[in-house]
Amino acid sequence: MKKIIAALLIVGLFGCFTFAAPSKARPARTSARRGYGSHGSDFLTKALDLTKDQKAKIAKIRKDTAEKIKALVKAQNEDIEKVLTAEQTKKLADIKKKMEARREEMKKKFEERRKPHDKKAESRKGKEKVYVPCQKSKLDENALKEGDVLEIS
What pLDDT digit, counting tens, does each position of 22-63 carry? 555 555 554 444 444 555 667 777 888 888 898 899 899 999
Contact 124, 11 (CB under 8 A): no
Least confident range of 47-56, 69-78, 81-90:
47-56
Neighbour count for residue 131 (Cβ, 10 Å): 14
Predicted TM-score of the model (pTM):
0.42
Which residue(s) pair with 92 in the sheet? none
Contact 120, 148 (CB under 8 A): no
User: Taking 70 as the threshold, does the pLDDT of residue 83 lie above it?
Assistant: yes
Domain ranges of the chain: 36-83, 89-145
Compute the residue count for the chain: 153
